[in-house]
Amino acid sequence: MIYGYARVSTQEQTITPQMNALNEFGCNQIFSDKVSGSQITREGLNKMKSKLKKGDKVIVWKLDRLARSMKDLIDLISWFENRGVAFESITEKIDTSNAGGKLIFHLFGALAEFEKELIKERTLAGLAAARKAGRCGGRPKSLSEEDKKKIDIMIEGGYSKSNIAKTFKISRSTLYRFLEEQ
In 3D, which of 31, 95, 25 has the Cα closest to residue 63? 95
Which among 9, 69, 144, 162 is annotated as catalytic? Answer: 9
Strand blocks (E) in 9-165: 29-34, 57-60, 86-89, 94-95
CA 53/CA 92 separation, integer angstroms: 24
9 is catalytic: yes
CA 146/CA 112 separation, integer angstroms: 50
Adjacent-strand bridge partners of 59 = 4, 88
Residues serving a catalytic function are 9
